[in-house]
Amino acid sequence: MKKILSIVICLTLSLVVFGQNQKTNIIFIIADDLGYGDIGINGQEKIETPNINRLAKLGVQFKQFYAGTAVCAPSRASLMTGLHTGHAPVRGNKGFQPEGQTPLPDSSVTFPMLLRKAGYTTAAFGKWGLGFITTSGDPQQKGFDEFYGYNCQTLAHNYYPDHLWQNHDRIDLSGNLKFDSVYSADLIHEQAMQFLKADHDNPFFLFLPYTLPHADVFVPHDSVYDHYVRKFNEKPVEIKSNDREAHHFDPYPHAAYAAMVARLDRYTGEIMKAVEEKGIARNTIIIFTSDNGPHRENGGDPEFFNSNGIYRGIKRDLYEGGIRVPFIAYQPGVTRPGTINNTPFAFWDLFNTFLDMAALPKAKNTDGFSILPAIRGQKQQTHPYLYWEFHESGGRQAVRMGNWKGVRLNVNKERYPALELYDLQKDPAEKNNIAAKYPAIVQQIEIIMAEAHQHNADWPLLVSEF
């Protein structure tokens, strides 16, 4: 009897030690141009998102979470490097020949590189946009064992492309040259599900930068699409005979956009179900977010859907609507169901958050810190300020300092551009510029803007160079 008891005790202790040493699987879903208000839990009334809503109710919602900036490539560069756009090596959407965007340099260390080095299996399925294959920004050079999807974000506007990439292999989709045959978003999700359902000897990081609901607004005409065509009762867009080449979206764009978001919601539900059925839910965190605010391109209509909620601005704006994004985290036994967190955090915090989840030492040369305590509902370090810069539309800067928000426009056009000031606690929609009333706060934010921008010849801000 004593021998049996000893065996039971040893087995129990072994399971406890195993549980303590077991590293967390990480699934990170990042939507493309999904607005803060495009999902039900943030007030969306026209599009149904039951799976994302369920994820939020089971986990923790961050109501003041920010993207890296207001467009794709630099926002993702901020995510990967843990640096805000005043320090990040990629700060804008610049094309790169023969395909893709400005590559992350050799010197840039990404968190997937560190996860892979620590024994994680790493995979990315979706849109990369941070360097063509064989360049310094190649996904496999930046920490991914496996990549499938679009290397180039410009080509990702087309949901029926002639090719995708699987690591260094070009996957030709010649059927799409004749007619809209294979919807790329579905191909990408199928690859993600195959990875998720496969057996893995090591913990994994599954990065899912889905293309939905980025323009062009196109989606298969299935029952969900038909549902929204009926629901919205919209008139088809009339295409002028001389405008056919420029017209790149569905004739029922509202129905198509809603169906794209619904498709993303379905993908999220399938991921949750697969994790539960595989029996790895308690050791797997699922995170859902977006790379920037909603778009108004090729069929996008953020006004119709109230995609930015109460917030001012859309994609390419540094007002709240352009950079405040949904952020949901769920892990059974770790996140408390229905938790709401109102502390400001940003993409550059995720570098150390993911290292923390993997029980790795946190990096010191980033602009962020781990928000794992906040995800767990524990006491959390906070930022003295958050900073963004944007290198299109004349150049823009923004700072969040407590409840103060400073925005400066035309920083590449004017020597002394005026700073707009808003109190987000009293005026979350940024309607009332109160800079004239608080000159000391304006001066403090201007000092932060000057300090936060690190000179980079490829990404100059002339206001900081005068």
Domain architecture of the chain: domains with CATH: 22-383 (3.40.720.10), 388-465 (3.30.1120.10)
pLDDT band of residue 413 (cuts 50, 70, 90) is confident
**How distant is the alpha carbon of residue 292 from its chain centre?**
7
The share of the chain scoring above pLDDT 70, in percent, equals: 93
DSSP per-residue string spanning 420-441? EEEETTT-TT-----GGG-HHH
Question: Which CA distances in Å does 207 have to 43, 111, 126, 409?
Answer: 27, 12, 8, 33
pLDDT band of residue 177 (cuts 50, 70, 90) is confident
**Would the pLDDT of 388 be above 50?**
yes
- For residue 445, report the phi and psi dihedrals to the nearest 5 degrees: -70, -40
Task: Report yes or no: 235 and 278 within 8 Å, Cβ to Cβ.
Answer: no
**Would the pLDDT of 296 be above 70?**
yes
Give the position of tokens 């999220």: 268
Lowest mean pLDDT among 39-43, 234-238, 307-311, 367-371: 234-238
User: What is the rounded average pLDDT of the residues 281-292?
Assistant: 98
State residue 248's pLDDT score.
83
State residue 179's pLDDT score.
81
What are the counts of helices (DSSP H) followed by strands (DSSP E) for the chain?
14, 16
State residue 464's pLDDT score.
63
Task: Report yes or no: 293 and 48 within 8 Å, Cβ to Cβ.
Answer: no
The enclosing H or E element of 208 equals: strand 204-208
Task: Report yes or no: 274 and 238 within 8 Å, Cβ to Cβ.
Answer: no
State residue 434's pLDDT score.
98
State residue 276's pLDDT score.
97
Report the DSSP beta bridge partners of residue 290: 31
The share of the chain scoring above pLDDT 90, in percent, equals: 88
Question: Which CA distances in Å does 260 have to 161, 225, 255?
Answer: 17, 9, 9
Q: Exposed e or buried b for every residue in 94-124, given b needs 16+ CB within 10 A?
A: eebeebbbbbbeeebbbbbbbbbeeebbbbb
pLDDT band of residue 89 (cuts 50, 70, 90) is very high
Q: DSSP strand E in 361-418: where?
A: 386-390, 396-401, 404-409
pLDDT band of residue 178 (cuts 50, 70, 90) is confident
**Would the pLDDT of 21 be above 50?**
no
pLDDT band of residue 289 (cuts 50, 70, 90) is very high
CA separation for the pair 57, 34 (Å, rounded): 19
Residue pLDDT, tens place only, 246-256: 668 999 999 99
Which position has the higher pLDDT, 4 or 316? 316
User: What is the rounded average pLDDT of the residues 70-95?
Assistant: 96
**Would the pLDDT of 14 be above 60?**
no
Task: Name the residue type at position 345.
Answer: F
In Å, the largest CA–CA distance within the chain is 89
State residue 100's pLDDT score.
94
Q: Which two tokens stand for residue 3?
A: 């021998």
pLDDT band of residue 241 (cuts 50, 70, 90) is low
Question: Which CA distances in Å does 6 have to 2, 12, 20?
Answer: 6, 10, 21
Q: Which two tokens stand for residue 168?
A: 């260094």
pLDDT band of residue 19 (cuts 50, 70, 90) is very low
3-state SS, residue 453 = coil
Q: Which two tokens stand for residue 148?
A: 């499938």
Task: Report yes or no: 160 and 143 within 8 Å, Cβ to Cβ.
Answer: no
Lowest mean pLDDT among 171-185, 276-290, 308-322: 171-185
Task: Report yes or no: 111 and 82 within 8 Å, Cβ to Cβ.
Answer: yes
Question: Which CA distances in Å does 347 have to 76, 110, 271, 366?
Answer: 8, 13, 22, 11
State residue 10's pLDDT score.
42
The enclosing H or E element of 165 equals: strand 163-166
Query: What average pLDDT does the chain have?
Result: 93
pLDDT band of residue 8 (cuts 50, 70, 90) is very low
CA separation for the pair 257, 254 (Å, rounded): 5
Task: Report yes or no: 160 and 180 within 8 Å, Cβ to Cβ.
Answer: yes
